Amino acid sequence: MTSTAHERATIAALAGFADMTTARLRSLRSGRTADEAYALAAGMVEPTAALSHEFRRSPRLQDRWRRSAASITPSSMAARCGDSGIEVVLPDDPHFPTPLHGDPRRPEVLFVRGSLDSLDARRVGIVGTRNPTRRGAQTAARFGHELAAAGVCIVSGLALGVDGAAHRGALAVEGARPVAVVANGLDQPYPRRHADLWAEIAERGALLSEWPPGVIPEPYRFPQRNRILAALSELVVVIESRERGGSLITAHEAAERGIDVFAVPGSIDQRSSAGTNALLEVGAAPASSSDTLLVALGLDHRRARRTAFDSRPRPHGVEADALERCTIRPQSVESLSMELSLDLAGAAMTLARLERSGWVAESGGWFEPVDEYARFV
């Protein structure tokens, strides 16, 4: 069964109504044709009992939908999608992603740029905080890169921080087809700093959204996006997360669906690992390398380890000690001087030398180790 162009345009328009949510769209849709659902929301027919109840609960909703109906027609929406190269996919369509079919909160419509075939590969969701440590961002890039090199499709949310690093790491692999699930219309790149990533993923993999062009990324849409991200993944790995955050919602959504959740362990007294360590405590599996994930997917991980030549001069003596401390946790001049019993000037000089030889990078007075994935951060 395949939906008609008119059906697709009508549901797309409906999804673009003000304050539309997945749940509202589903109840409008249930057992109705696309036209009936549209007429109901636009106020062209008497509201059903359930809908009147909804209107009473949100007093201005009826009014807003009426106004939306006046400005968003199926034909204008179809034109808008066409202009931005956005494809509308309904659950009835054959290429609607299979993992979403049986989902308890299945999206009623998907907007796609790029090719949904990208999802035919093995899929791993990589998520994490928007403000990672350098180590976190590098780990995300490393996992993205190594998994993509093993032919895995990286699913992520295109957010700043971990998401972006994972995507960049993956895109550096020739032929990689990563998938990004975003929370706004596909006509506007968000976050804007990832406009280049956005375009490249649309070109090589697929950009997915539950919402039509013109929908802005309001805060409540992100948790909803996370459920699709989780549902599309065969397993989800959380790279870094503080005690609360969107990546924990994704992990939760994944666990609810029986999808394995992995977390990268971190130091117990670093706030940046509070969320991932909490996940490990409630039963997530630890992932210290991408091999763990490949094994979990049943893929052969015994490939030849490519050992990249590291041109950086190996640090010796106190510099080696300092680098080791930086690897355990970010260090400032003060903390390093206390750990290694150096005077402040000595600690500053040691760190500055490590930075000049490319082993650590500094931001705001804190030094973190640099590895070969730093260029994706």
Partner 1 sequence: MFASVPAAMLFGARGHPVAVEVHVGKGMPGFHVVGLPDESVREARDRVRAAVMSSGATWPDTKITVNLAPSQERKSGSGLDLAIAVGVLAASEQVPLDSLATLAFLGEVGLDGSIRSIPGVAPMAGVLRELDLVVPVGNASEAWVVASRRVHPVGHLRDLIAVLGHDAPWPEHDGPPAPVIDPPGPDLADVVGQPMARTALEIAAAGRHHLLFVGPPGSGKTMLAARLVSILPELSPDASLEVTMVHSAAGLALPPSGLVVRPPYRAPHHTSSEVSMVGGGSHSLRPGEASLAHHGVLFLDELPEFASRVMDTLRQPLEDGAVRVSRAALHTTIPARFQLVAAMNPCPCGEGNAPGECECGDARVRKYIGRVSGPLLDRFDLRVGVERPTVDHLLGSERGESSVAVALRVAAARARADQRQGCVNADLSSIELDRHAPLDAGALAVLRFELEKGRLSARGYHRIRRVARTIADLGPAVVDSIDEATVSLALEMRSSVRRHATADGRVA
User: Would you count residue 160 as binding partner 1 (CB under 8 A)?
Assistant: yes
User: Would you count residue 18 as binding partner 1 (CB under 8 A)?
Assistant: no
Report 274-303 residues binding partner 1 (CB under 8 A). Answer: none
What distances in angstroms separate CA 329 from CA 29, 219, 268, 335, 362, one per listed residue? Answer: 52, 32, 11, 10, 13
User: Would you count residue 138 as binding partner 1 (CB under 8 A)?
Assistant: no
In the complex, least distance from residue 264 CB atom to partner 1, rounded to whole angstroms: 12
Query: Residue 147 corresponds to which tokens in the numbers above?
Result: 């998994």
User: Would you count residue 362 as binding partner 1 (CB under 8 A)?
Assistant: yes
The single residue among 3, 68, 133, 226 that binds partner 1, judged by CB under 8 A, is: 133
What distances in angstroms separate CA 340 from CA 268, 325, 333, one per listed residue? Answer: 21, 9, 11
Question: Considering beta carbons, is residue 230 or 333 the nearer one to partner 1?
Answer: 333
Query: Residue 165 corresponds to which tokens in the numbers above?
Result: 């690093």
DSSP codes, 88-115: EE-TTSTTS-HHHHT-TT--S-EEEEE-
Nearest to 107 by CA among 25, 16, 213, 205: 25
> Which segments of 150-206 does DSSP mark as H helices, in order?
162-171, 195-204
Which stretch, 24-32, 48-56, 58-66, 126-134, contacts partner 1 (CB under 8 A)?
A: 126-134
Judged on CB neighbours under 10 Å (0-12, 13-18, 19+), 262 is buried
User: Would you count residue 338 as binding partner 1 (CB under 8 A)?
Assistant: yes
Which stretch, 124-132, 174-182, 202-210, 317-325, contacts partner 1 (CB under 8 A)?
A: 124-132
User: Would you count residue 131 as binding partner 1 (CB under 8 A)?
Assistant: yes
User: Would you count residue 163 as binding partner 1 (CB under 8 A)?
Assistant: no
Which stretch, 42-50, 112-120, 163-171, 356-364, contacts partner 1 (CB under 8 A)?
A: 356-364
In the complex, least distance from residue 271 CB atom to partner 1, rounded to whole angstroms: 5
Rounded Cα distance between 150 and 144, Å, is 10
In the complex, least distance from residue 363 CB atom to partner 1, rounded to whole angstroms: 6
A 10 A CB-CB count for 281 gives: 9
Q: Which residues of the shown chain bind partner 1 in the complex (CB under 8 A)? A: 129-136, 160, 240, 242, 270-273, 330, 332-335, 337-338, 344-346, 348-349, 351-352, 356, 362-366, 368
